[in-house]
Structure 1
Amino acid sequence: MLRLSLRHISEVYLYEYYKNPDEYEISDTDLARPHIDKANMLLSEQRNNEALQEYLAAVMENPVSFEAVSGIIICCKRLGDIEGAYKYTKEMYNICCTRAELATYYRNMGWYYLEKYDPDLSAALYRFSTFLVESEAAEQEIKYLETALNKPMGREKSEEIIEILKQNNIPTGPSNITLALLIKAGEEAEDSGNYIQANDCYMMVYDLTQDDEIGDRITRIKNIIM
């Protein structure tokens, strides 16, 4: 039987929905973590091919690990595998559970379209990422485009930036399915008395939506935990 290192109820919900698995069981220990730690070390030493293999091994253990998928994308970028980076970036979208993770998705998309010689869309994506989380890296990419093309880039109003993304069939916020899965995971955890993981799930949803009802759930759980 397939054994996976899903360490949180949110990962279970994401995996079962997006990966449509056959029967599986959850490992007692985190088998993905050693691969990720080794990959991070190899990446810091510019041993990109070796790092990629470790990140891929981590994804085999935990197919919804944002950290592992993000590592694969970094390796693909360094190795010049543009389409590989794009493939995993598209997969990344469904497992973005925080504003920071979602901003990473948009920066990766910005990189892809820069490589595909679409500077206007690239700048819009980098700019949109800063609506979620301020990023010096995104700002530097926009400045690079402005210098290269000798014109303002990514300076449109927010609604115009959003329209550019929509015209290119790029989502302009978190996946509604992912949000629903996180809420369901939180509810199951709460019903079973696992208030720590329930709070984790609700906090992720609140980070992405600032929804008042979710905020009330967080307050209720914190009162129980305290």
Structure 2
Amino acid sequence: MTIPESCEKILQEIQENIPENHGFIRDYLIDQTNRFSSHQCQKEITKAISSLAIQSLSTEEFQQYISHLIQPEPIIQAVLDAATFFLQEKKFQKTETYLDYILPYANGNPKEKEDVAFVSFRDFIEYAYYAMYLNPESELPVYPYLGTEILFVLGKICAGKEKRSRAFAIFTYLARVSPVNDEILFEIAELYRNKGELEDYRKITNRCFTYAWRPEELAHAYRNMGYYFTESRDYEIAITCYLMGTTWEESPVTAREISYITEISGITPDISDLISHGHKLLEKNDVPFGPNPEMTDLMIQYAKECKDEGDFFEARKYLSRAKALQLSDDLEKQITSIERFMEDSFIF
């Protein structure tokens, strides 16, 4: 998606008018950020200004800059997005440089061993599951996920640099802060895998099945279980798990791992037989078959409430998420019905 010409002009003007005197840069960036905080080009402008802030300000000056913003969160998010990009490129030093600027805005301290004083969620459905099934009596305040995500990236840096004990401390802390979060649990599982602690690896993966509300998370949980059974030399159920994962997400890992199993076992799997008897194999080995019905039922119920309240966009969103997990024709019909109503009502 290209940046509109008007946005390009604004970005050029901001760049060209940066004060030469360093002492004026912080106030200039404050003025420009606040000036365009509600502009249609805000996303592009925020990204550009956040980059200028990192290049031009010290970490202390950056904190002073943030404290004067009308809406500081978009700037912090933009810095975090840049750090995440560098992390994906395995540029750990650059990731750390960016993260140093926003660590003061992280949620809590991973060194804390006591019970957490707040919780944090990526999405409303995680909070709903937590409140319905995990801790209905909880009175803990809910913090924005941005501060939790900052620590998550820090944990990923530590894991990438093989500072595994530090990474483990961060991720286990975050699993208490954000207790319905597969993204965090997969990182813990990977650390157990690296240490060869397969039973703990499986326990964490079982929790991933419970909390999965995205198709890719459910598929990831099946691949994890495939690895567990491969290491346990139970190849039939291992292949079944890898194949089950493809129901929700295709991954090059599946073909590679099935090829590896064939090579080390000398067994040529009968794929059609495994698919037809997969349910029984999974049940026999205590592996869930499909998504957690509590999670999908919660999405469907929330979608119904949204529809009853006239929030058709939100209703469609959560029905679509439930359908992506259940692969249900009935849910597809409900989604189509909502979309037709929205079109007829000129909501678009």
State the TM-score, normalizing by the size of structure 1.
Answer: 0.87
CA distance 1:28–1:104, shift in 2 (3 Å): closer
AA matched with 1:57: Y
Contact kept, 8 Å, 2:304 with 2:315, in 1: the verdict is: yes
Instruction: For residue 103 of structure 1, report the CA deviation from its aligned partner.
Output: 0.8
2:172 to 50, 56, 65: 56
2:48 aligned partner: none
AA matched with 2:332: D
2:312 and 2:158 map into 1 onto residues whose CA distance is 37
2:143 and 2:195 map into 1 onto residues whose CA distance is 32
2:332 aligned partner: 212
2:173 and 2:316 map into 1 onto residues whose CA distance is 30
1:80 aligned partner: 196
1:130 to 231, 238, 246: 246
1:115 aligned partner: 231
Unaligned runs of 5+ in 1: none
2:135 to 20, 30, 38: 20
2:126 aligned partner: 11
1:165 aligned partner: 282
Contact kept, 8 Å, 2:122 with 2:181, in 1: the verdict is: no
Deviations 1:79-109 (A, max 9, x none): 2221211111111111111221111111111
1:69 aligned partner: 185
2:132 and 2:257 map into 1 onto residues whose CA distance is 35
SS at match of 1:156: helix
1:89 and 1:151 map into 2 onto residues whose CA distance is 26
AA matched with 2:289: T
Alignment length (residue pairs): 226
1:221 and 1:5 map into 2 onto residues whose CA distance is 34
Point out the more displaced range, 186-195 or 7-16.
186-195
1:38 and 1:198 map into 2 onto residues whose CA distance is 35
Contact kept, 8 Å, 1:182 with 1:202, in 2: the verdict is: yes
2:255 aligned partner: 139
> Over alpha carbons, which structure has the higher Rg?
2
CA distance 1:81–1:18, shift in 2 (3 Å): farther
Q: Give the fraction of aligned pairs with identical amino acids, expressed as a percent.
A: 22
AA matched with 1:98: R
Point out the more displaced range, 151-160 or 74-83.
151-160
CA distance 1:120–1:215, shift in 2 (3 Å): same
Contact kept, 8 Å, 1:202 with 1:217, in 2: the verdict is: no
Instruction: For residue 28 of structure 1, report the CA deviation from its aligned partner.
Output: 4.4
